[in-house]
């Protein structure tokens, strides 16, 4: 009788222990599944972030490619060169400019031209400022005293600026004419395209792309803003203001431009 009771109690204890072990294994199994699921979710998140990073890098490469292909029109300048061998005088005419970029908020500019000789830069001339025009007619002449023995080593420079009453004048572009490559036996009159200012920091450009981030789908670029000396309008004006005010943050609003088409 006593042995039967003992066996019965042992059986009950065995059942209780088995049930506890089963519950614990079930709980560990659920926890393991949850951990695996969390790892999978983290992995998907990392994969999505990696895809987004690759997408952004692709946009940057596209922007760089387009930047290399695009040639910004800074306008043209017509000028004349006449050298008097007997007097040792170089007469430079600034005739007119056309298709200049709009540097003001109104879409126009207040252009004028600085003329000087490299390498000394000692004597500089300036034309009058022409208000609110992209096609100014200057018709001004300037005379440099240059001995014939020195003229071949000089470079004639035309710097076109946008006049600003309240801040530093923005340089629109420039033309450099090495006089050693010019036939001074005749009067030169020609048109040439304006080139960006030849400064190292002005060769840099900045492209800001605004992206609609999507963790599940594909992040899409909304638009972009391009700043630099190769741009026009607000992009060129903001860049020029930044260069004119070193160590000072220059904030301006910009309208987003559409993304360039691929291919």
pLDDT given at position 178: 93
**Is the whole-model pTM more than 0.75?**
no
Distance CA 22, CA 133 (A): 88
Task: Answer whether 150's CB lies under 8 Å from 172's CB.
Answer: no
Write the DSSP symbol of residue 190.
E
Cis peptide before 106 (omega within 30 of 0): no
Q: Which domains does the chain have, with CATH numbers?
A: 76-193 (2.60.40.150), 203-262 (2.60.40.150)
Per-residue pLDDT at 236:
85
3-state helix, strand, coil in the chain (%, to 5): 35, 30, 35
- Distance in angstroms (rounded) separating the CA atoms of residues 49 and 132: 49
Question: Whats the size of the chain, residue-wise?
Answer: 263
Cross-sheet strand order for the sheet of 89-98: 137-145, 89-98, 76-84, 188-193
pLDDT one digit per residue (tens) for the chain, 263 residues: 656 555 556 666 666 665 655 555 555 555 555 455 554 555 555 555 555 556 555 655 555 554 444 567 899 999 999 999 999 999 999 999 999 998 877 888 999 999 999 988 778 999 999 999 999 999 999 999 999 989 989 999 999 999 887 777 888 999 999 999 989 999 999 999 999 876 655 567 888 999 888 877 777 888 999 988 778 888 888 888 887 776 678 899 999 988 887 75
Instruction: Report pLDDT for 69.
Output: 44
Beta bridge partners of 137: 96
């Amino acid at each position: 009788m006593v042995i039967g009771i003992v066996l019965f109690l042992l059986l009950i204890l065995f059942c209780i222990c088995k049930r506890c072990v089963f519950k614990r294994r079930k709980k560990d199994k659920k926890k393991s599944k949850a951990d695996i699921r969390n790892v999978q979710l983290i992995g998907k998140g990392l994969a999505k972030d990696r895809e987004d990073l690759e997408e952004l890098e692709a946009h940057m490469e596209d922007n760089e490619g387009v930047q290399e292909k695009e040639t910004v029109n800074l306008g043209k300048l017509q000028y004349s060169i006449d050298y008097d061998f007997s007097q040792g005088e170089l007469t430079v005419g600034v005739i007119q400019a056309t298709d200049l970029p709009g540097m003001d908020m109104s879409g126009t500019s207040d252009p004028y031209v600085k003329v000087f000789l490299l390498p000394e830069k000692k004597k500089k001339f300036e034309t009058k400022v022409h208000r609110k025009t992209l096609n100014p007619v200057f018709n001004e002449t300037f005379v440099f005293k240059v001995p014939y023995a020195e003229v071949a080593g000089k470079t004639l420079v035309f710097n076109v600026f946008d006049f600003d009453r309240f801040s530093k004048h923005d340089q629109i572009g420039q033309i450099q004419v090495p006089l050693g490559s010019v036939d001074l036996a005749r009067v030169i009159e020609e048109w040439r395209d304006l080139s960006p200012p030849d400064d190292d920091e002005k060769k840099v450009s900045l492209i800001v792309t605004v992206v609609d981030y999507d963790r599940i789908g594909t992040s899409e670029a909304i638009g972009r803003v391009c700043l630099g000396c190769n741009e026009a309008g607000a992009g060129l004006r903001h860049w020029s203001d930044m260069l004119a005010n070193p160590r000072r943050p220059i904030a301006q609003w910009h309208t987003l431009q559409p993304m360039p088409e691929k291919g």
